[in-house]
Amino acid sequence: MTMHASRTNSSIQSIVSDVYLRSPTRPTRADRPLSPARRGGMLGAERRSPVTTKNRLGDSGVSRRDMIRLGAGGVGFGLCGGIGPVPYLLSQASRAAAATQSGRILVVFEWFGGNDGLNTIVPYGDATYYKHRPTIGIRERDLLPIDAHIGWHKSMSGMKHLYDEGKVAIVQGVGYDQPSFSHFSSASFWHTAAPNSGNEYGWIGRTASALDPAGARPNMIVNISDSQTLAVKAEKHVPLVFIDPMKFQRGVFAQEKAALDTLAAQHAPVGDAHRYVLEVTRSAAQASEVVRAAWGHYKGKDNPDLRLLDLDKVAALIEADFPTKLYYVPLRNSLFDTHVNQAAPHDRQLQYCSDAIAGFFQEMKRIGRADDVVMYVYSEFGRRVPENTSLGTDHGTAQVNFVIGNAVKGGLYGKPPSLTNLVLGDNLENTTDFRQVYATLIDEWMGADAVKVLGQRFATLGMFQAGSHA
Amino acid sequence: MATRTGWSPGPAAWHDDLAPMPAAEWNYDRAAHLLTHAGFGGTPEEIQKLADAGLERAVQSLVYYESIPNPKMQPFVESGLWDPTLNGFPESRPEATDRAEKHGASMGIESKPSGNRPVQPVSDRFFYWLRATMLETRRLGYWWANRMLQTTHPVEQKMALLWHGHFATHENKVRDYRKMAQQIDLFERGATGNLRELTIKVAQNPAMLYFLDAQYNVKGAPNENFGREVMELFTMGVGNYSEKDVREGARAFTGWYFDDLAFKVDQDKHDGGVKAFLGRTGTFDGLDVLNIIFEQPVTAEYLAGKIYRFLVRDELSAELRKKLGAVLRDHHYDVKPLLTVIFSSRDFYSQASYGGHIKGPVEHMVAMMKHLGVDTMPGVPDFNQSTIAMGQHLLNPPSVAGWAGGKAWITPGLLIARGNVAREVLIPDMTGFRDWNFSAGSDDILGRRLRDGFDIGAATAVNDPSNMSAFDRVALERDEKFNTRISGYVGWEQAARKLIPTPRHAARFDLTELVVQSGAKTTSEAIDYLTWRTLRVPPAQAMRDTLVAFLTKELGTDNVLRARTYMEDPLRITMHLVMSTPEYQIV
């Protein structure tokens, strides 16, 4: 296995070979052919072919100019175990070493705030629903029916459309036993997949570890947020966390550039907090350059639906061929916590979300990655069955989850929760443990060991098309 | 040059030991550590004063600050944006315009008797207030930041910042800068007083009552939001009460509300029945419930732990937490004795407490000013834009849980933002700066069109109909009784006419002066001085060498006095390098 040495600095070349030789996983197929950066943009513009591309490891083709542009700073760090502080060149090599379902991507879209599942997928065929919700219950004329029993809230035409194309799995009654009614506690249970318990790492972080135990692959996880979500906290992978690609760049004067590159991360850690900041510093500098380059090339920037809810950033990175497998997008400025006067804010929030998701999958189609991308939508709890006296609903329990993508076998999953046998006062009893949905995504889609990630076996739901299994 | 006391963390054995540090162990570095954690750090002169006072008097002067004069504190000067017709502000634009259609007026504005868009002025008024309170709150944040910087009572301000994040409300929902100002005052006055009394005052505070939907918490229909957060976030933490306690507690608070800025109880809405709460039974009201909460041992531990983690370091053992809780409880929730214990303790000066705290953005920015010798927060860059970029919007925490703090302050994006903010402070972009208080954002284009002579319909038309988001489509189909998009723009303009502009001066400091006064003659000595002044974690040799090489190259000499006439900007860029390092982020 030789690297193209013609334009590379020999010392960097030898380090790259070291990385490859040290990597525990041998590639069977590269996910994306690596195109020379000089063709335009650091990440190249070569169109990808489906996952059965031959091994292209030998053709890194990164120009000397690019390595100088990135600075030799990365080389100076040494190859710290598993953190992935590697400059672009090394990330390409290790990207080519991907051994799993190469192109597959999971995008988690968290509808924080406690979405009222009963007014999202509405059981209009059940009279009890209207008994509990005489005022805020959604009338049949305001629905997009699925069948004689349930229908979509009318603001969700985008998702209904996808559903009609067979691309949306609706899972009803998702929750967990002894549910928490606290936003923060319940969200943390979902983030860690450890209800009424705890885990240092998030389920997405642990999935990354399962996919890449050495932690050698950088930018496995991207979190579009201004602060890191617990779900993505990983043992060895430093999630790439940012909100605005345009602001995600170091403002540097020309004369200080070289010094700035050298200065980062020269210190031995004086403690845990320092160690953490050092790790993030290492990944920040390189990450910002590639993110900005990706954003600069993104052709869907003016899509107004995506822009609202940050899914455009995900689309940009996917279009730029980022090595990321796991994206996590929490909803910002959520209106879902509808304690009071629910109708208008819920309507609006569902519309924004549905349009954003529909727009996102149109983008995936345009980019040619629609087969590779699956989106998962959940909320940390649903809402109470009866309406309250403020024309809203209080915190509840089980709710509806969505799994969306070409690879998904669309339809209804899970048993609808009972509206008559309520629990904990006036709440839905969950019929599917959320970790079953997680297990389905981890195992059937990402091809990782769900038992390892979740700590026990959960029956999967058979949500994916035949042939897309591991 | 005088030798400077270096980084001197105490022995590892001091970890978790609350016994006082021996007086002989006091030195300049420990004084710097104290001022950095108890407050926002200080200039070498401020630190030297503490160093000279000895441990006991230093701690005492910081904690028992009331008698120290505080000459620079000024009351907040309002822009005059509020008037009484805005009392009882509607919760939504539909409510505002519905009220006008029903009653002919809303928020002091009457609807037009005839003509197109008869309710437009009411819609404009609604957006006027949204903009006005948001803009005035920015001024409030800037005013508060200056208090943090200029106060002679740093512990008071540091603790006020803690309480703001702990008893968190955000102006975005409260929509009344006056209520936010009221809270700042409450947190300053109650900063180091009695915690039980502070909590009671918070539970009766209009901003908090509104924020947690207290007006919907009425007899027969208790709303749990308030009761839940009081227990979960403000006092005990999850796991120390049951869901039943939440519901029963909510009943006790029914009828608690406010009239403008004054707390009041509406007895008709109050559920006076018997409640079972945390093992006690009685016809409790909110005050009783709070007193019962403060009888629980866990409350003292929860609050003491919060204080400790905010001031000292993230890592806190269950054992130490218990000890801290005992101190707080033994003093009936008076905070000053707890602070005295903490600031005097071996644990506070132990290895674990050195470098264990990642400064939050507001704290970081105030400290930066101290490092540079700045005595007024600059207007360029904008304080709020800077701290927002770094992940903290003062007076607008993301939720009632406040800011997570600790490692949550550092992500790749946020870390890069810190370096960028430092650059903007050191080398501000004076000519490129655009004052966001006087820009209507995406609505600016409406203003241009109106001024160019377009009518409202044309002005609000989107350029490319095929490129409209769903929201835009809905906006175009707006009721012809009013046009919301125009209101968003007009509201901003109306608020901007009254808004007092924030002065847009650069940060005033002189690094050349500081370096020369320090006695430094070479670039090595200059770097040593500057890093000593600004970093708690001393620089690694390699970093020092890089900085010296950089400065020498920029100056064209290693002789600082020779370069003194042109040294300022090179020194500033050097400081940018320092402030971008991981070491600068932690104390």
Q: What digits encode the pLDDT tens for the residues A168-201? A: 999 999 999 989 888 888 998 999 999 887 788 9
Q: What is the pLDDT of residue A466?
A: 67
- pLDDT at residue A72 tops 60: no
All residues at 6 or more sequence positions from A64 whose CB lies less than 8 Å from its CB, including other chains: A7, A8, A9
Q: What is the pLDDT of residue A3?
A: 32
Q: Which residue has the tokens 């947190």?
A: B187
Distance CA B398, CA B402 (A): 6
Interval A205-213 mean pLDDT: 95
- Is the pLDDT confidence value at B475 over 60? no
Query: Can you give the pLDDT at residue A39?
Result: 29
Give the pLDDT of residue A447. Answer: 94
Cα of B355 to nearest chain A Cα, Å: 7
Question: What pLDDT is attached to residue A352?
Answer: 93
pLDDT in tens, B410-434: 988 899 999 999 999 999 999 999 9
- The more confidently predicted of residues A77 and B80 is B80
Inform me whether the pLDDT recorded for A300 exceeds 90.
no
Residue of B415, B468, B540 lying closest to A284 (CB–CB): B415
Q: For residue A455, with 0-12 CB atoms within 10 Å meaning exposed, 13-18 middle and 19 or more buried, which class applies?
A: middle
Touching B: A residues 12-31, CB under 8 Å: none
pLDDT value of position A279: 86
Q: How many residues does chain B have?
A: 587
Q: Which residues of A touch B406 (CB under 8 A)?
A: 273
Q: Tell me the average pLDDT across B467-473.
A: 58
Kindly state the average pLDDT of the residues B550-560: 97
Rounded average pLDDT over A119-128:
96
Question: Which whole number is the average pLDDT over A348-366?
Answer: 94
With a pLDDT cut of 70, the percent of chain A lying above it is 77
Predicted TM-score of the model (pTM): 0.81
- Measured N-to-C along each axis, helices B154-166 and B44-63 cross at an angle, to the nearest 10 degrees, of 70
B354 and A271: CB-CB below 8 Å?
Answer: yes
Least confident range from A41-50, A306-315, B73-82: namely A41-50
Residue A454 has a pLDDT of 96
Closest residue in A to B91 (Cα–Cα):
A341
Specify the pLDDT at position A68. 29
Give B186→chain A minimum CA distance, Å.
Answer: 26
Chain B residue with minimum CA distance to A387: B221
pLDDT tier at A84 (50, 70, 90 boundaries)? very low
Query: From the CA of A426, how many Å to the nearest CA of chain B?
Result: 13
Question: pLDDT category, B584, cuts 50, 70, 90?
Answer: very high
Place of tokens 């994206």: A327
| The pLDDT of residue A44 is above 50 | no
Residue of higher predicted confidence among A26 and A154:
A154
- Name which of B314, B407, B414 is nearest A226 (Cβ-Cβ): B414
CB B433 within 8 A of CB B380: yes
User: Is the pLDDT score of A153 beyond 80?
Assistant: yes
pLDDT at position A470:
45
pLDDT for B312 equals 97
B220 with A182: Cβ contact below 8 A? no
Chain A interface includes B425 (CB < 8 A): no
Residue A37 has pLDDT above 60, yes or no: no
User: pLDDT value at position B419?
Assistant: 95
Q: Is B98 on the interface with A (CB under 8 A)?
A: no
Per the CB < 8 Å rule, is B546 touching A262? yes
Contacts (Cβ under 8 Å, ≥6 apart) of B473: none
* CA A286/CA A71 separation, integer angstroms: 9
Q: How far apart are CA A84 and CA A208, in angstroms?
A: 13
CA of A56 vs chain B CAs: smallest distance (Å): 30
- Selected residue with higher pLDDT from B567 and B213: B567
| Nearest residue on chain A to B396, alpha-carbon basis | A333
The answer on pLDDT for B111 being more than 50 is yes
Instruction: Report the gap between the CA of A465 and the closest CA in chain B (Å).
Output: 32
Q: Which of A30-34, A310-314, B252-256, B309-313 has the lowest mean pLDDT?
A: A30-34
Q: Are A162 and A404 in contact (CB under 8 A)?
A: yes
In contact, A118 and A346? CB cutoff 8 Å: no
Q: Who wins on pLDDT, B402 or A454?
A: A454
Handedness of CA B557, B560, B565, B566 (dihedral sign): positive
pLDDT tens-digit readout, B232-259? 889 999 889 998 999 899 999 999 999 9
Q: Report CA-CA distances (Å) from B324 to A384, B294, B316, B318, B398.
A: 39, 15, 10, 10, 28
Q: Is the predicted pLDDT of residue A299 greater than 90, yes or no? A: no
Banded pLDDT at A313 (limits 50, 70, 90): very high
Local confidence band at A432 (pLDDT 50, 70, 90 cut-offs): very high
- The percentage of chain B sitting over the pLDDT mark of 70, rounded to a whole number, equals 96
Give the model confidence (pLDDT) of B26-61 as tens digits.
Answer: 999 999 999 999 999 999 999 999 999 999 999 999
pLDDT tier, A7 (very low <50, low <70, confident <90, very high otherwise)? very low
**pLDDT mean across residues, chain B:** 93
B216 vs A389: CA distance, rounded Å: 8
Say if A181 is an interface residue toward chain B (CB within 8 Å). Answer: yes
Size of interface A-B (CB pairs under 8 A): 193
- Are B242 and A424 a contacting pair, CB within 8 Å? no
pLDDT confidence of residue A260 = 87
Q: CB–CB of A280 and B427 under 8 A?
A: no
Contact B352 A181 (CB under 8 A): no
Would the pLDDT of B474 be above 90? no
- Chain A, residues 327-386, CB within 8 A of chain B, namely 339-341, 344, 351-352, 355
Of A184, A352, A355, the CB nearest to B401: A184
Q: What is the pLDDT at residue A85?
A: 31
Q: Do B586 and A274 touch (CB under 8 A)?
A: yes
What are the structure tokens assigned to B44, written together? Answer: 């070498």
Q: Which ipTM did the prediction report? A: 0.92
pLDDT band at A92 (very low <50, low <70, confident <90, very high): very low
Round to whole Å and give the CA distance between B64 and B155.
9
A60-74, A109-123, A287-301, A303-317: range with highest mean pLDDT = A109-123
| Arithmetic mean of pLDDT, B164-193 | 96
Lowest model confidence (mean pLDDT) among A391-400, B194-203, B440-449, B556-565? B440-449
Q: What is the pLDDT of residue A402?
A: 98
pLDDT above 70 for A94: no
- What is the pLDDT confidence band of residue B226, given thresholds at 50, 70 and 90? confident
Interface of B with A in 31-90 (CB under 8 A): none
Q: How far apart are CA B40 and CA A149, in angstroms?
A: 61
Question: Nearest residue on chain A to B465, judged by CA atoms?
Answer: A304
Least confident among A106-115, A333-342, B194-203, B503-512? A333-342
Q: Do B469 and A251 touch (CB under 8 A)?
A: no
Mean pLDDT on B262-274: 95
- By mean pLDDT, which of A92-96, A440-444, B122-126, B320-324 is the weakest? A92-96
- Nearest chain A alpha carbon to B554: A255
* pLDDT at position A107 over 70: yes
Give the residue with greater pLDDT, A46 vs B115: B115
